[in-house]
Chain A
């Protein structure tokens, strides 16, 4: 079983649509969680951290369900510029360093 699993997609949506990505992780001891964004042939960049109470950053909302070991990302009012691969990331390190375990990513294509 993969440590972090994501639907690879692609998700093809029109501009303005709402789209949701899901992710499950296997290590119940994991303490912190993230969504990273990776544009084609570029390095990943942090989109947002995911907190237990859920958190929102503009059009993006992240949720965490520790009991189900499930993470989600909701994107509202999709823009063309949201087209990218979204990586679910789990930190299996400790406070001293980040041992980030990445999912394979979900590809999003937003069309006009």
Chain B
């Protein structure tokens, strides 16, 4: 069966510090991968998605970047965190070519607080 791992679960970082969140998927090949952010009281916002190794698409301009160094690894990074980067970060995957009603599976999320 497929599983998605995301860590750390909770993170408190000072303003201006770097960030690296990692997500890995097991049990599937060539998944579509996604990073979402959920700010307090707001809906999930798609930040990045990737349809293959090294292929990253950004949905919104921001202080963050993403990379996909391996097929089932997706990394979210920042060189210098801002207070506004605080939120609940969720990695997700879906099957490639699964059709329009393919389910997206989410990791357990990282709750980031920038102080």
Chain-A contact segment, one of B13-21, B62-70, B74-82, B106-114: B106-114
| A100 near B104: Cβ-Cβ < 8 Å | yes
Assuming A97-B51, A98-B32, A99-B49, is B99 touching A44 (CB within 8 A)? no
Residues of A within 8 A of B12 (CB): none
- Which residues of B line the A interface, CB within 8 A? 32, 34, 36, 41-46, 49, 51, 88, 90, 94, 96-97, 99-104, 106-109, 111
| B44 near A44: Cβ-Cβ < 8 Å | yes
With CB as the reference atom, state the residue of chain B lying closest to A51.
B101
Residues of A within 8 A of B96 (CB): 96-97
Residues of B within 8 A of A87 (CB): 43-44
Which among A31, A44, A46, A98 has the highest number of chain B CB atoms within 10 Å? Answer: A98
Residues of A within 8 A of B36 (CB): 102
| A31 near B100: Cβ-Cβ < 8 Å | yes
- Extra pairs beyond A45-B106, A102-B43 (6, CB < 8 Å): A32-B101, A43-B90, A44-B106, A46-B103, A91-B100, A97-B49
Distance in angstroms between the alpha carbons of A41 and B108 in the assembled complex: 9
Distance in angstroms between the alpha carbons of A105 and B43 in the assembled complex: 7
